[in-house]
């Protein structure tokens, strides 16, 4: 999936729990999930938990200006099916 498409058309939501080390709580269908990749469980576990939702992708290190998403330096569209 094209990263520009994700930026332009997908809602960015925070993972709950934020480190995504456990099963996520909430509706992530069609959304990009912002999570803390620096957690102790590692990217593999976080990625699997995000993969178990209907999210488009997982993202970390996102920057905003005036409540507008500017950029996510780490976007993982491949972490989801």
Give the domain range for residue 22. 3-79
Query: pLDDT (tens digit, 9 = 90+) per residue, 44-72?
Result: 888 889 889 988 888 877 666 666 666 66
**Statement: residue 4 has pLDDT above 50:** no
Using pLDDT thresholds of 50, 70 and 90, give the confidence band for residue 74.
Answer: low
Query: pLDDT (tens digit, 9 = 90+) per residue, 5-59?
Result: 454 567 888 899 998 999 999 999 888 888 887 778 888 888 889 889 988 888 8
34-59 as b/e, with b when 16 or more CB fall inside 10 Å? bbebeeeeebeebbebbeebebbbbb
Question: How many domains does the chain contain in total?
Answer: 1
Are 25 and 50 within 8 A, CB to CB?
A: no
């Amino acid at each position: 999936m094209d990263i520009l498409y994700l930026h332009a058309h997908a809602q960015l939501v925070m993972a709950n729990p934020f480190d995504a080390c456990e099963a996520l709580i909430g509706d992530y269908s069609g959304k990009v999930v912002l999570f803390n990749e620096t957690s102790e469980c590692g990217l593999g576990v976080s990625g699997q938990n995000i993969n178990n939702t209907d999210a488009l992708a997982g993202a970390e290190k996102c920057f905003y200006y005036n409540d507008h998403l500017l950029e996510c330096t780490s976007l993982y569209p491949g972490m989801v099916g």
